[in-house]
Amino acid sequence: MAEMLLFNALRAAIDEEMERDPTVFVLGEDVGHYGGSYKVTKDLYLKYGDVRILDTPIAENSFTGMAVGAAMTGLRPIIEGMNMGFLLLAFNQISNNAGMLRYTSGGNFKVPMVIRGPGGVGRQLGAEHSQRLEAYFQAVPGLKIVACSTPKNAKGLLKAAIRDNNPVLFFEHVLLYNLKEEIPPGDYVQALDRAELVRPGQEVTILTYSRMRYHCLHAVKALEEKGYDPEIIDLISLRPFDMETIGASVRKTHRVLIVEECMRTGGIGAELSAAITERFFDELDAPVVRLSSQDVPTPYNGALEKLTVVQPEQIIEAVEKLVHGQV
């Protein structure tokens, strides 16, 4: 098995899928000659040419709609959002046309496309470059939403997303591109709709995704030393949730902590908390606890930014309170 950096794992997934299927192509800002803002598509234009690795003008709504039209007529576009936040400018095309068109057309057309790129809060990038669009898009019918978190799942999930016949919003995290991990050789594909059990445990279920997976692991290390035994599940699929895996864990631990980078209001955790309460209320020994980002535009100042996002100490405290029935 070869070790790979996360951005190279994504690149390998795209390269392999483009080789496998000539209808797969990449479009977006600076994906070609520049190689992508995080080098995910570096030099692919040399292999596939300027049509299959299409550098677009800075016109997010239009090139997203263009990808929808291409998908409707038989191609499999991969859009790179240079920063996922920029795709707010493409909200209409993502919602009305990528998400809803299959239904509205009564099944006349399918829209197999991937919209991928860096999301989340980075290091002092300011409010506009620190958005978590997964929260905004989770209500759009017809979209699948996935967040990768390791080089291995980045590769396997992206390959699955490219092969899926539906529009998939694929979130990477701006701070995880340089993670390194061994990747299974060959055609490694990971199911889009399955959560990942990161650490089995008995006392409390921690549900998280993307970069917060590492904050949780960090916190759990300290908790282990104190004798706690939490379970960590990486959601992977943010729409729809893998309620089977989540349910099995809730039935085991009877306590749930959600740790997310979304803002609290209308976030992924809000929806997840409601889903768990509705389906597994009788299994719960305590209310579902959410740790989310503060409801503020992410501030530039480093200290304020840190206050905005969940920190490992908060996770430790929340687990201790949950286990001791102090919630």
The phi, psi pair for 40, rounded to 5°, reads -70, -25
Residues 67-96, one symbol each (x = binds another protein by CB under 8 A, - = not), give xxxxxxxxx----------------xx--x
Establish whether 231 is a catalytic residue.
no
The pair of three-digit structure tokens given for residue 310, joined into one six-digit string: 């969940």
Task: Give the 3-state secondary structure of residue 156.
Answer: helix
Q: How far is the CB of 86 from another protein (least distance, A)?
A: 14
Nearer to another protein, 116 or 255 (CB): 116
Torsion of CA 192, 193, 196, 200, to 10 degrees: -170
CA distance 64 to 133: 16
Contact 151, 10 (CB under 8 A): no
Which helix or strand (DSSP H or E) is residue 2 part of?
strand 2-5
Is residue 108 a contact point for another protein (CB under 8 A)? yes
166 belongs to the binding site for another protein (CB under 8 A) = yes
| Residue 60 or 261 having the CB closest to another protein | 60
Catalytic residue flag (residue 129): yes
The structure tokens listed for 188 are 């490694």
Q: What is the CB neighbour count within 10 angstroms for residue 277? A: 13
The token pair that represents 195 in the structure block: 């959560």
Nearest distance from C-beta of residue 26 to another protein, angstroms: 12
* Residue 82 CB, nearest approach to another protein (Å): 16
Residue whose entry in the numeric block shows the structure tokens 């209310």: 287
Choose, from 16, 29, 80, 129, the residue flagged as catalytic: 129
- Are residues 167 and 115 in contact, defined by beta-carbon separation less than 8 angstroms? yes
Mask for 177-216, x = binds another protein (CB under 8 A) = ----------------------------------------
24 binding another protein? (CB under 8 A) = no
Active site residues: 60, 129
Can you give the binding site for another protein, defined by CB under 8 A? Answer: 22, 25, 48-49, 51-52, 56-57, 59, 61-75, 92-93, 96-97, 101-112, 141-142, 144, 165-166
